[in-house]
Structure 1
Amino acid sequence: MSLVRAERRRFFKRRLTRWVFPIGVLLLVTIASILFAFHSKPTPEARARGEATAEAMYQDQVREYERYKRECGDKCNDGGWTGPQRSDFRAEHYMPPSFDFKAQYGELFLVWAAIMAMVAFLLGASFVGAEWASGSMMNLLTWRPKRMKVLGTKLTVMLLSVAGLSIVALGIWTGILWAAGELRGTTEGLTPGVWQSFGLSALRGLGMILLFAALGFGLASIGRHTGLALGAALAVVIVGQVGLTILFQMIRVPFWEQYLVPIHIFAWMNKEMKLVDYSSPEMVCDTAGNCNAPELLITWQDSGSIALGLVVVVLAVAFWQMRRRDIS
């Protein structure tokens, strides 16, 4: 049996794979089902009720504005405001929510990517960590003594398997959301450009999932135990995120949010993330005299470069350690 086939079989036969992936899919199905249940397709009756409510709200605001003008008289200074506008009171604002696939599907890629990234991290860490903890790695190296090839094959098989599972999960996720659009909203406006944008978002999501899988794999390989990868993840969440947030707020570090992992995840998936430093004593003014708080733009290239660099370093240490350390 080839090494690739043996590793692929080992990956899918593991109990953690059989449990964690279905749990991840179940979470996605649950969230998509809730979205399906809480949306409804707009009907003529619902639109008529929405129009009636919008008109009633508009008339109520007009009466309030006229009362304000009468009481205020010449003392009023409304900055040129002419009162409520009917165009601001749309029927859609007073109708039960409907699921617009075009508008909402792109925003929901983050849900799929985040859940599958957690699944991928666990699968990547346990795939190699369990081998070290159980002694299977030593037995495997007796059969295939080329350490670098063995670890590289494990990493490749794991990444390809995680990619396949993530695509399956995306298909299930997309199918339920498409049904929500068809039965509980609309799927109109899906041009080739929109589908291309969806495809690019899916690729960024898949890239994030694979980076988390590789990170878990590398950390567990360095520590020769799944627990090290999980401990490192816990330390990042508790110490590196909560602790740094409190510290940076206390000492007023400019744009302290840029050091938080979720910010970079948002920037990666949404292509950019704008941070505003409201605590800064210095204001940025333009030629017209308009002043605003300083801003920092984080792009998906910035976040991707940081994440890729971190994963490359972790994997480099893992492979170097595999080559240099004794297997015992």
Structure 2
Amino acid sequence: MIRLTKVELRRLISRRLTIVGAAGLLLISALLLVATWADARPMTAAEQQQAQRQFEVAHQDWVDHAAENLRQCEADWNSQPDPKPKLEDMCNYSEPKLEDFGKPRTVFATIMPELLQGSSYFLAFAAFLIGASFFGAEFSTGAIGNWLTFEPRRLRVYGSKLLAAASGFVPIAAVILAIVLLGVYLIVHALGDAHTTGKVWGNLTATGGRAVVTTALAAALGSVVGLLLRHTAAAIGVVMGYLVLVEGVFGSFLQKAQPWLVRLNFDAFVKHDTQYYLNECSASSDGGYNCNYVEKTLTFEHGAWYLAVLAVLMIGIGGWVFHRRDINS
């Protein structure tokens, strides 16, 4: 198995799509760093003057109309049916401050978790695409039949291809995430607030590690889908159809099904818990309905078990099909 996996790794690394994909990931990472630099740049003198003018207008309006706005808000609050928010929450007209206007200072500990999460998306997509092509192309060209004449034990061939696809993307994902993490830190250190703690670095490192795991998993599952559909384009079509129809349309209509969708469980695993919202309605005293969006938490454990079960099922189905199905059919 080790020898076969090494052979498959060499094949994966030498493929043109793998090289193009790795170059594309580097380009996306560079664009991400450029966007971070643009967001972190301090305001120009003209932008500072414009922020000052906006602050002065808003502050003068607050001085002139604060009492009037408060009275009107209190009247609106009194006329609302129960249950209603607290008066101090609904009618909180705080004095405008200059720091509230213009561009806020970029904080490393605030932006980095979301950037790592975004990076995990394009890493997983690239890994899935290349994994699907890695296995699917062998059926399109007929190379898989020739390979099985040298190694007829199909499950060993199947396992070596999945291991090669998964392990081959571990260093790629680790390098890309390290570039993003260190690049953003250096940019924010020069232009914003890069102060952080050991705990934050530990959390960011753990998030990056989980993103590496999901990248390897996406490469393996892409290989399985490429095997089942025998064509890279078909695998991409199925994934895009799932994202649009199931995650987009189905998920928006049946909100209670969100905990069983792939994307949310992916987020829960990478981010170590994630939040989503449900629109919950209850009968009011006047016979109507009061509806509010309620925040829910999908736990890391749920996401980890979901992805593990999905991986086992898909890999098991792929192994059964590869072992049983006629290669030429």
Do they superpose with TM above 0.5? Answer: yes
Match of 1:304 in 2: 304
Letter in 2 for 1:191: T
Matched, 1:241 2:247: yes
Match of 1:26 in 2: 27
Matched, 1:152 2:159: yes
- Between the aligned partners of 1:167 and 1:5, the Cα distance in structure 2 is 20
Asked if 2 retains the 8 angstrom alpha-carbon contact of 1:17 and 1:123, the reply is yes
- Equivalent residues in 2 for 1:50-89 (5 A)? 57-66=58-67, 79=87, 84-86=93-95, 89=96
Question: Secondary structure at 2:23's aligned position in 1?
Answer: helix
Match of 1:262 in 2: 263
- Between the aligned partners of 1:46 and 1:242, the Cα distance in structure 2 is 39
Match of 1:127 in 2: 134
- What is the CA deviation profile of residues 181-206 of structure 1, one whole-angstrom value per residue up to 9, with x for unaligned ones? 12221211x22111111111112222
Match of 1:232 in 2: 238
Match of 1:287 in 2: none
After TM superposition, the score normalised by the length of structure 2 is 0.80
Q: What displacement does 1:316 show?
A: 0.6
Letter in 1 for 2:200: V
Moved more, 32-41 or 165-174: 32-41
After TM superposition, the score normalised by the length of structure 1 is 0.80
- Between the aligned partners of 2:153 and 2:77, the Cα distance in structure 1 is 82
Match of 1:99 in 2: 106
Change (3 A) 1:241 1:49: closer
Q: What displacement does 1:106 show?
A: 1.5
Q: What displacement does 1:216 show?
A: 0.9
Moved more, 24-33 or 7-16: 24-33
Match of 2:82 in 1: none
Q: 2:210 aligns with which of 174, 180, 204?
A: 204
Measured on the aligned residues, the alpha-carbon RMSD in Å equals: 3.5
> Percent identity among equivalent residues?
23
Q: What displacement does 1:223 show?
A: 2.8
Q: What displacement does 1:11 show?
A: 0.7
Asked if 1 retains the 8 angstrom alpha-carbon contact of 2:280 and 2:294, the reply is no
Q: What displacement does 1:259 show?
A: 4.5
- Between the aligned partners of 2:202 and 2:97, the Cα distance in structure 1 is 31
Change (3 A) 1:295 1:158: same
Letter in 2 for 1:325: R
Letter in 1 for 2:206: L
Question: Secondary structure at 1:255's aligned position in 2?
Answer: helix
Segments of 5+ residues of structure 2 without an aligned counterpart are: 79-86, 285-290
- What is the CA deviation profile of residues 227-276 of structure 1, one whole-angstrom value per residue up to 9, with x for unaligned ones? 44223213312332344246xx3xxx462433443333333333333444
Question: Secondary structure at 2:103's aligned position in 1?
Answer: coil
- What is the CA deviation profile of residues 66-105 of structure 1, one whole-angstrom value per residue up to 9, with x for unaligned ones? 4657x98x9898957998545xx44432243432112211
Match of 2:193 in 1: 186
- What is the CA deviation profile of residues 121-152 of structure 1, one whole-angstrom value per residue up to 9, with x for unaligned ones? 01111111112221222222222222222221
Asked if 2 retains the 8 angstrom alpha-carbon contact of 1:220 and 1:227, the reply is no
- Between the aligned partners of 1:135 and 1:327, the Cα distance in structure 2 is 9
Segments of 5+ residues of structure 1 without an aligned counterpart are: 284-290
Change (3 A) 1:134 1:47: same
Q: Number of paired residues?
A: 311
Change (3 A) 1:299 1:326: same
Q: What displacement does 1:207 show?
A: 2.1
- Between the aligned partners of 2:251 and 2:281, the Cα distance in structure 1 is 17
- Between the aligned partners of 1:235 and 1:267, the Cα distance in structure 2 is 22
